[in-house]
Amino acid sequence: MITVSICMIVKNEEDKIARCLDCIKDFGDEIIIVDTGSTDSTKEIAAKYTDKVYDFAWVDDFAAARNYSFSLATMDYIYSADADEIVDEMNRKKMMQLKEVLLPEIEIVQMNYTNQLEFGSTYNYDSEPRPKLFKRLRTFEWQDPIHETIRTFPVIYDSDIDIIHKPHEPHHKRDFAVFKKIIKEAGANGAKGQCGVYDNDGNDVLRLTAGLTRNARTMYVKELLQKGEDSDFLDALGFFKGMADAGILELRELNEAVCVIAKCALIRNDAAMLMKYVLKNLCDTPCSEICVIIGEYYYRQGDFNEAYVWFYNGAYETEPLLVVKYKEEHSIRGLIRCCERMGDFEQAKKLEMNIGR
């Protein structure tokens, strides 16, 4: 049987942490709690479950905190838990069975992360697989009898275990604040000559990307499209416009940046900016997000026929780049509004029936 370290980073989780630990305490051979600055009774509650409660100075970096928690683990595998998770009795039994039969060559176990749409700001589906259990020490192996190479890809097992994500509130405002801080600090500290990483035109790439990875930038766009308010988009405009104008982005990421810039142009009612950047997407593979933004622009201009065309394109002629709702919901709702403004209430009712199918 494998042994498991449960690692959790927390801050002000007094209303959730006991609920979580009660579900998984038997799964772990040790429980490691890393507190990033709680001012409530989180640490006192955690101490009832484990004597391994540590402090970590918060630096607006979840990865740094998680890496620290993992560094304290001593068991065969590490289970990465969040305080707002629940495991029901059936899935708790599955976890205990997994612990007994897991083969040592398995390096990552994925579990189904469910209930993500309740407060989700980056998710398209209510249940998605997520890596949750990690082998603490990895053994590198040679493969192929000739021209042998080191196997670099982990051995992953997709389990049927469901982890219920049950937060009490959305987190997007916290996330936007962190992104904004990172970008501001990069602008202040990334003067030419310090980073030493430039593109062919001499643009300081690390400053322009704020040191954010490709995945982090995509998640920023996704979270904006899901939950962003006008002020959140405008806060992000300089960052995404700077990268788009510098020509440092691959095509897909350029299209992601264009979604943010186009939304800002809509907010500002800036037709010239809208035209300049949406054409970058339309000349490639148009996406539902851009069609909805164009449709919204014409709707606000009172041109409901033209708005209808673009909402229709968003719903039936294109696919979403990042956010499924732009095809399945936002486009359809745009069509409904256009029909109502044009007096076609029968069609509006028919379209209403398509939402959520």
Tens-digit pLDDT profile for residues 169-216: 667 888 898 888 888 887 655 544 344 444 445 455 666 787 788 999
pTM for the model? 0.75
Q: What is the DSSP string of 308-338?
A: HHHHHIIIII-B-SS-THIIIIIHHHHHHHH
pLDDT at 194: 42
Low-confidence ranges of the chain (pLDDT < 50): 191-200, 202
Tens-digit pLDDT profile for residues 272-301: 999 999 998 888 889 999 999 999 999 999
Query: CA 121 to CA 46: how far, in whole Å?
Result: 28
pLDDT at 281: 87
CATH level 3 topology of 4-165: Spore Coat Polysaccharide Biosynthesis Protein SpsA; Chain A (3.90.550)
pLDDT at 186: 76
pLDDT at 125: 60
pLDDT at 247: 84
CATH, domain range 285-357: 1.25.40
